[in-house]
Structure 1
Amino acid sequence: MDYAKTVIYMADDDADDRYFMRQSLQEVYPWVTVVEAQDGSELLTLLDTWSQQPAPQPVHLILLDVNMPKVNGLEALRAIKANPLLRHIPAVMLSTSVEPAQMATAYQNGASMCLEKPHTYAHLNQISRSVSGFL
């Protein structure tokens, strides 16, 4: 694998959460490029633009906050998994509350993993390490 071309798309409506997640990912994987969206709608637009490129660089992982305005994480996940150009990309759902029913719905809709949003930077680094199998 060409680590210099590892790309993660991330959607979260909280700018601080995006910042700290990007910092953690780039601390654990210095070569990774993180493309950020502030909600599911913006993420789907970014992925649509990506998929229309003549030779798009592979996307290795999508991180989705479950609770976002406009298009929430579950709605974005459904749209991603319904698109033949995107459905192969692993998607990890992040939520402040890991409700069993919500997580079951995420898995039924194609989530690769569901994780509780971290409360400390050390826990954030654990989350970053836990996605290593997708990179």
Structure 2
Amino acid sequence: MNRKHIFVLVTDDDEDDRYFLRKAFERAIKEISVLEARDGTEAINLLAERPVHLIVLDMNMPGLNGLETLAFIRLNTNLCHTPAVMISTSDQPVLVADAYKKGFNCYIKKPVLMGDYDQIAQALKTCFLL
């Protein structure tokens, strides 16, 4: 890996989903810090304090949803090129297309099985963090 230490932000109102993603990232990448936010506002505040290498946003959250949060992130010149991944329970084609149109680099349907989180972390590592 080219970077010494990786920082990833996982934003999801579901504590279990944040936990499963964090643990999967920690298994996939040795030198990683996973920051966690419960909603879009908390994510924006964390990003103001610490730039990250990858942003993972849930679609449906109270307050700012994933699309609205990404709109704020893309306005920040320090973060506008940071890869962003949408993760959602929905895989409706209209929602997926809208996510890509609004600037997401990847769209992932939330897994049903815990082991699938490991596959997601490995794929995101390969695509965005090497």
Equivalent residues in 2 for 1:33-112, closer than 5 Å: 33-50=33-50, 59-112=52-105
Q: For 1:94 and 1:2, how far apart are their aligned partners in 2?
A: 25
Residue of 91, 109, 112 corresponding to 1:116: 109
Q: For 1:94 and 1:78, how far apart are their aligned partners in 2?
A: 16
The secondary structure found in structure 1 opposite 2:80 is: coil
What residue number does 1:10 align with? Answer: 10
Aligned-pair CA distance for 1:130: 1.2
Q: For 2:52 and 2:3, how far apart are their aligned partners in 1?
A: 12
Alignment-mate amino acid for residue 70 of structure 2:
L
Q: For 1:31 and 1:120, how far apart are their aligned partners in 2?
A: 25
Aligned-pair CA distance for 1:61: 0.3
Q: For 1:2 and 1:128, how far apart are their aligned partners in 2?
A: 17
What residue number does 1:53 align with? Answer: none
Structure 2 residue 128 is the aligned partner of structure 1 residue 134: yes
Return 5+ residue gaps in structure 1 as ranges.
51-57
Q: For 1:15 and 1:21, how far apart are their aligned partners in 2?
A: 10
Q: For 2:21 and 2:81, how far apart are their aligned partners in 1?
A: 23
Q: For 1:119 and 1:30, how far apart are their aligned partners in 2?
A: 25
The percentage of aligned residue pairs carrying the same residue is 43
Does the CA-based 8 Å contact 1:26-1:32 persist in structure 2? yes
- Provide the aligned length of Structure 1 versus Structure 2: 127
The secondary structure found in structure 2 opposite 1:92 is: strand
Please tell me the root mean square deviation across aligned C-alpha atoms, in Å.
1.1
Return 5+ residue gaps in structure 2 as ranges.
none
Does the CA-based 8 Å contact 1:81-1:109 persist in structure 2? no
